[in-house]
Structures are given as C-alpha cells and as structure tokens.
A and B are shown apart, each in its own frame.
Chain A
Amino acid sequence: MSQELTGSVPRKEKFVHRTLTGLNPAIESLLAAAVGLIIGAILMLVWGYNPWKAYVALFQGAYGDSYGWASSAASGVPLILTALTFSICVRAGMFNIGAEGQVYIGAAAAVTVGYFVLPGGLNLIVGLIFAMIGGALWSLGPAILKLTRGVNEVISTIMFNWIARFLTFYLVAFVLVDPVRGEKTISIPVSARFPVLVRGTDLSWSIFAAVAFAIVIYFVLWHTVIGYEVRAAGLNPSAARYGGIKSKRTMLLAFILGGLGAGLAGATIVMGNPPTYAIISGLPQLMNTGFDGMAVAMVGRNHPIGIIFASLFFGGLTAGGRTMQFTAGVPLEMVRVVEGVIVLTMAIPELIRVFRVMRSSWSTLMNVLKRRRSA
C-alpha cells in the first residue's frame, strides 16, 4: 500500500458512517462508569453497606421495568440539554459553565406563559420559545464580555450563574409569585404543559424536544458549514483563521446555541415535570441541572448522540438511587459519590493510553515467550 506503512498490518479501511464521528471513545466512557461503580462499591463496603444489594436495587429501580426506564429517562431529559450547552462550547474551544444560570432564566421565562391565554398548542410553543430566548440572552452576557473585552468565559459564566440565581429568587418571590400560594410561582396552564408520556411517571413529551435538539445540534456541528467552522476554530484557531473562519463569530454562535439548549432545559423542567408545573422558591428542581450536565457531557464525550446515552445513565443513577435508598438503605448521596468518581475517571484520558501500553508490553512478553519456546 503506502511506503510509510510497509511492513505494517494493513489496517482495515473503516467505513464508519458520519453519525459515529467522535463516538469511538465510547469504550472509555463505559470504562469510567465501571470504575465509578467499583469505587462506589468499595466505599459502601467501608461504610458497612452491601454493595451487591445496593446495585441490584439501583439497577432494578433504574432499568428494571418500564416505570424505571421512564423515570430514568425523565431525570435525564434536562441533562441532555445542559450537557449540549457545555459540549457545543467545548467543541468551539471554550469552557462554558453558564448552563446553570441559563436554566434558571429559561425556566422563569417559561413560567411567564401562565399570564397569556393562547389557543392550545400555541401556548406550549410560545413557552418553549420564551425559555430558549431567555437562556440565549443570558448567555450573551459572557459572550459579549469575551468577544469585546477578552474576559475569560469561566469567570464570567460563574458570575452570571450567581446573578441568575438571585434574579430568579427575586422573580419567584415577588414577580411571578402565585397570589394564592406564596412558596411557588403561578403554574403553567394545562395547555402549555408537555403531555405525560408514560402514565404514572414523570416522563413527558419533553423527551422528544430534548432528543430533537440533540439531533439538530449533531447535524449543525457535523453536517453544516457553520458547524464545521465552529469545530475547526475550536481545535486550531490559527488554522481556522488561515481557512478564513472568523473565530469570534463561531464563539458567539456556540454561546447562543448553548443558551438555547439550557433555556430549553429550564422549560422541560417546569413544563414537563408533574406535579407542580411551577418554580418552587429556592429552586430545588432547577438546582444543579447545569452542573450535572457538564458531567453528562464528559461521559457522553461531547457528542450529541453520546450525550443522549450518558443522560439516560445519569438519569438512571438518580431514579435508581431512590430505590436503592428504600430497599438497601444506602443513602442517596452514595449515587453522587459514584457520579463524582466517574467524572474524575473521565478526566484521566491517560487511562486508555496506559491500557495500550499494557497491551503492547503483553504482546512483547508473549513474543519473547514464543521465541524461548522455539529456541
């Protein structure tokens, strides 16, 4: 074949369909999940719980029956969207941790549809659009600071998260407040709620919105010129400039797309999660959606399709964690430990390289043994 490869085992030409681009490290994610579960088991042993019993309960609760699957998927829905927010920006070469604040703003914007009376389906769509625009507008702050003044997006998004948090506290307590029950906002009207998909669970049609958004992002990033430019600028800004790509534009685009996703996540929480359909003061349902999304993004390898599966896994941990608490008596926090270990493991990309070295030294050893035997 080629001169450079002379003597090498001819590698199979991989006809990987473009949908699989970037998904090759799936094994790495599975490995990290396994390591997380194993270390979680060790910790359970240390604290005197039965890890086997706990995990059986966890996985039965998460994926044991259709109720479990539905609950896992429902917990994963907003995570798909916030994970996308993070991933799009990673692909564009930025570390945007502003999804958290954008979720708050998106949720608050969605609640405002409670003040309108619109015909049926329109109310839902207007709510979604409000939420997405709210999230996108909130992401513009850090974006503009970065593009005009060079402010690092890590710092500015953290600060915007806090601003969003207290702003939403205020809105929930004084502006959007339910005149009858002061501890929550007005409720989303029935016409603007996502219909429940599986009766008796939290899973609503919002999952289709989230998956559709993921697929749209996938197509934008890998099948359009704009997405191509975003990824090029993210991987090598100099080469992108050489290729006539304006990296300021791609960054702005990534911020806006991410904001749309996070805003939508806020909407899925308030419009798709029974029974409240409102923001409760203190924002318990919204809290950490953005941050957990970052973990999901890492496990999903910043790829929209990978993120869908990773969300199902993280949603499963949350849903199954409750069962684990009931039946095995293991505190719910153990699930957070497992999640934390997974994230830490993901942060060690060296791991797979170590495995490769081990494999090659193994084959060396076998060769040596073979030679010994033949000699």
Chain B
Amino acid sequence: MTDKDRLTKNEPTPDYYLRAEGITKVYSDGTVALKEADLEIHRGEIIGLLGENGAGKTTFTKILSGLLPPTRGRVISPRGHIRFKSPREALEFGIGMVYQHFALVGTFNAAENVALSHEHPFNRIQLTATKKKLEGLMEESGLHVPLDVPVEKLAVGEQQRVEILKVLSRDIDLLILDEPTSVLTPLEVDELFSLLRRLREEKKSIILITHKLKEVGSVTDRVVVLRHGEMVGDVPTEQASTQQLARLMVGKALDKESSAVELQDKGLPRREQERANVRSKQAVLKVDGLTVKGNTGEITVEGLSFGVYGGEIFGIAGVEGNGQSELVEALTGLRLAKSGSASINGKNILGLDPREIYMMGVAHIPEDRWRLGLVLPFTLAENAILGVQRWEEFRGPMSFLRWGKINQHVRELMDRFEIRATGPSAPAKSLSGGNQQKLIVGRELAKDPQIVVASQPTRGLDIGSAQYIRDLLVEMRGKGRAILLVSADLDEVLALSDRIAIMYEGRFMTIASPKDLDRETIGMLMGGVAVKEAA
C-alpha cells in the first residue's frame, strides 16, 4: 500500500538515469541508517545531498555505488532493476564514488594508483598508457597533479584530485563526491565546482554530499536533505532558501544551529563581546625565524616569526599545503625544526619530544584525527589518556593505571563535552566523527593548557559539532588562554580569530585583524599576490 502511495507521489520521469526506491539500511548492530529513501537522478544534473553527520548520506551513496547492499528497497535504471555486488560492478555500470577518506596506495604515484584501479588482477598494468591518458584527462579537466611523486607525499587536496581522476578515467555517468570540499581551500573549491559544471555539460550526473549550505547554493541544481535516515526534502536549488534548508537539515534544535549556519554562511563573528580585552602582555608562544623542512626535504616553513598572546585566537589561513601542517608539527614536537627558535612562556620547545611540550601547557588538536589523534581500536577510556597517561592522577604505584579514576574522568569528559557513546569501554572507532573529535578536543582541553594548537578542528564535522567545538575555543580564549588556529575553512578563521595570518609558501603574507581584511584581499594573499603588487 505504502509503495503505491509513493509511486503516485513522484511519477518517474522517462528520462531518468537512476531511481532509488524505498531504500532502507539496517546495520548488523541494529542501527537504522536509512528509512525508505527515494531519489531520482537525471542526466546532466548536480544534486546536493545535505545532512548532518550520521544522517545517512554516506550510507545512501555507498548503496548506490555498490559498496553496501540495501536491507530493503531497490535501485532501478531504465534498463531494469540493478543490484551491484561490488563497487567494480557499479563502476562498470557507470557509477563512481570519491570517498572522504581516500583509497590510495601511499607509496604508489598517481599514475600507478589509477592503473591499479583499472586493471583486473591478472592483467598487465599499462603504466605508460595510463600516464598518457591521465595527462590528456588533466588537460581536459583542469585537475593537475604531479604524476611521478608517491601520493603520500602529496597534499590532501592533491590526493583528492588523484581520487577524482581515478574515477573520471573510467567512463562514468554518475559521479558521487563525499564531502569533497572539506579538505579544499576556496580556490580549489572553485576549481572543483567549475569542473563539476563542465561535467554537467557533458550530461553526467553528480551527487555532491555536503553539509555546507553555501556550496549547495553555488553549484547544485537540486537539493536533497536527509535527516536521521529519512529524506526530508527534495527541492530545486533556486527555490530553496538557506534558512529553509538549514531547518530541514537540523530539525528541532534550531536555535543553536541557526547561529552556526549564520556563522558559516556569512562569516559573522559570534560573541563579539568575548573578544578579548584580556590579551596578555607577554606572548605565550613566541616563534622567531622558524624554518622547517617537509617530507621531501624541501623548505616548507621559511623564517616565520610571530607571537600568540594569552586571550587571543591567532588564526592561520591559507591554501592547504603551504606549510601549515609542518609548522604545527614543529611546534608540537612531531617534526624537527631546521633553524630558528620557538618558546612557550620564555622556555624553548624546539627539539623537545611531544610529551615534554605537553608538560609545558600545550594542547594539540591534530588535523588528522584517525592517524594522529586517536588509536581507533582502543576504548574511549584508553584514548582519553593518550598523552596524559603518565599523569600522577592516573598512575598508581609501580606505574599501575588507575582505571577507576580514568573511567570517572572519561564520564566527566562525556558529560562536559557532550560525547555520545555507550560508555568508557566503547571502542573509539564505534563513535561518529563528531564524537571522536569531541573526545580529542575534550582530552586536550582537560589538560588546562596555556596554549591550544588547533589544526583543522572542525574538518568534516556536522554543523552542530563544529559549532560546539568553535564555542569551546572561544571559551578558552575567554579564560585567557592562547589559541593557535589553523584551518582551511576561511569563514571559520575569519569568524573566530583576533588576528589572522595568511600563509603562502611557508611565509606569512600578512598578519592583520580580520576587520582590516576583505575577502578579495584575502583571496589574493592566499594566492600569493601581495596587495601592493595587485594595486
């Protein structure tokens, strides 16, 4: 009966490419990720798939791309009912997906990675042909990546381009991108979007998973909103207002989120009043002439000098891969600096190991939470003491861990930082991205640090979690702590920072108050054009 209702509600149009009907997905642990989701995809359209983390966006697209079978429901094309047994079958059908976490072999170069994805296991890898094809494709699509460098040496944005090339090099009709812009800078996002528009011209269909409302407006034709596994909206983009979409996406708890939307969309500083008048006289972190080498031995941070004061957020904006990661690693003891000095409250930190630096009051929210921030198979409790495992509070006689105290500490963290999990013994990998990040942030802030080094703290998070974490940073500033914020999200840096540095090729183009910078200027500085030159 219900099936009939649905069919009469949205009649299939004859020119559809793919139609998902009543897709339901129940995971083996009982989680209902999708409830009766319907979607019709046409040729030559860009669909924005909007929703918070955990809304079922990724599950839905994984079903389309053959990675997961649906529990109920079906996918049909004009050619009939389709059921993929593997992503390879989906690719052969013409559906390709680029995941948020890349599937690349780190020691292979781009061409090898692409060749790997093409060939059947027993075929000969045809590297020269692949390379030629890729060069053509790069010319055509405007996506450029170095072909001879192992991909692990490439910046995240470049790795993503390799992933997109990998899919494009197959003859695909439907391209699915999972949060593609979360790792890109504004310039790269523009490039990506113009590529998507070009693909639309070629009558290809695109599904863009995102939770950034602005992106939806700028590139999509149609917006589909998922909330808790249900399709709650399917509207043409021009008829959809940002506020309406935000409301659909977040549902009830609108008050908090609407301000988040505002922040994300307009870059408006929140809590202007908290902006510190309490800035300390002495810099907490003082960096002088710092030079750091990258993985391949090239100089990635070149003679940087700056100070971060208590009670301020010092934001570093810039296109990713301009030395931000290396700067953070050098300051947190993960990478040796080549020359220069850095000190916390007058005490040198260069050459110390990470734990010694923590002891001096540094908290580090790392950019890659899966690689650095968490030991995924560990429990919540075990992750909650990473870096502070030697604290007196947690360590009894003979270096025995006081699990009772640790579990109590974790419960406090869960309460204080709104970490949703079944308990201290839940494995970290069972948490959603937002909760994993809250766990890291909670652990770091619980150190009561002098300075917080936050690197991409809200990357890939849903609006609620992202805003929550931003609020925490602002709160720390209110307490007179120093915060060094590195983010590829320009709006975020603009909204939170008291001072902004624009980083380009290992140097700061400028250090200024966000009020004195307009977007055009920032865009030029990020592209390496000094303002005077431009004028």
Contact = CB atoms under 8 A, between A and B. Distances in A.
A327 interface: no
Contacts of A5: 31, 420
A4 B334 contact: no
Contacts of A240: 375
B228 A243 contact: no
Nearest to B32: A7
B295 to A, nearest CB: 13
Interface residues of A, number: 40
Contact of A244 (B28, B228, B354, B425): B354
B387 A242 contact: yes
Contacts of B375: 232, 235-236, 239-240
A66 interface: no
B116 to A, nearest CB: 22
A172 to B, nearest CB: 39
Interface in A360-375: 360, 364, 367
A225 B386 contact: no
A249 to B, nearest CB: 11
A243 B389 contact: yes
Contacts of A27: none
B330 to A, nearest CB: 14
Given A4-B432, A232-B375, A367-B72, A244 B401 contact: no
Contacts of B421: 2
B28 A356 contact: yes
A11 B30 contact: yes
Nearest to A226: B399
B390 interface: yes
Interface string A246-281: 100000000000000000000000000000000000
Contact of B400 (A6, A224, A239, A364): A224
Given A236-B375, A242-B372, A8 B31 contact: yes
B35 A7 contact: yes
Contacts of A18: 403
Contact of B29 (A3, A8, A231, A246): A8
A339 interface: no
Given A18-B403, A364-B71, A243 B30 contact: no
Given A229-B389, A239-B371, A224 B401 contact: yes
Question: Chain B at the A interface: mostly helix, strand, loop or mixed?
Answer: loop
B387 A243 contact: yes
A354 interface: no
B214 interface: no
Contacts of A231: 378
Contacts of A13: 422-423
Interface in A1-58: 1-9, 11, 13-14, 16, 18
Contacts of B87: none
A228 B394 CA distance: 12
A176 B165 CA distance: 68
Given A8-B29, A243-B387, A235 B377 contact: yes
B387 A359 contact: no
Nearest to A225: B399
B231 interface: no
Nearest to A368: B72
Contact of A3 (B228, B371, B422): B228
B374 to A, nearest CB: 6
Interface size class of B (residues with CB under 8 A): 35 or more
A6 B366 contact: no
B256 to A, nearest CB: 13
Given A224-B400, A360-B28, A239 B353 contact: no
A245 B382 CA distance: 14
A6 B253 CA distance: 15
B401 A228 contact: yes
A295 B348 CA distance: 50
A357 B71 CA distance: 11
Nearest to B357: A244
B422 A11 contact: yes
Given A239-B373, A242-B372, A228 B28 contact: no
B395 interface: yes
B31 A7 contact: yes
A224 B432 CA distance: 29
Interface in B363-395: 364, 366, 371-378, 382, 385-387, 389-390, 394-395
Interface string B148-175: 0000000000000000000000000000
Interface in A186-243: 219, 223-226, 228-229, 231-232, 235-236, 238-243
Given A226-B399, A232-B375, A238-B371, A14 B354 contact: no
Contacts of B422: 11, 13-14
A229 B387 CA distance: 10
B399 A364 contact: no
B156 to A, nearest CB: 15
B334 A243 contact: no
Contact of B334 (A226, A228, A241, A359): A241
Contacts of B72: 364, 367
B372 A239 contact: yes
B321 interface: no
A243 B386 contact: yes
Contacts of A236: 371, 374-376
B402 to A, nearest CB: 9
A317 to B, nearest CB: 31
Nearest to A240: B375
Contacts of A360: 26, 28, 71
B425 A14 contact: yes
Contacts of A9: 30
16 contacts: A3-B54, A4-B53, A5-B31, A7-B35, A8-B30, A223-B400, A223-B403, A225-B401, A228-B389, A232-B382, A236-B371, A238-B371, A241-B354, A243-B354, A357-B28, A360-B28
Given A225-B399, A242-B354, 9 more contacts: A3-B54, A3-B420, A11-B30, A223-B400, A224-B400, A239-B374, A239-B375, A244-B333, A244-B390
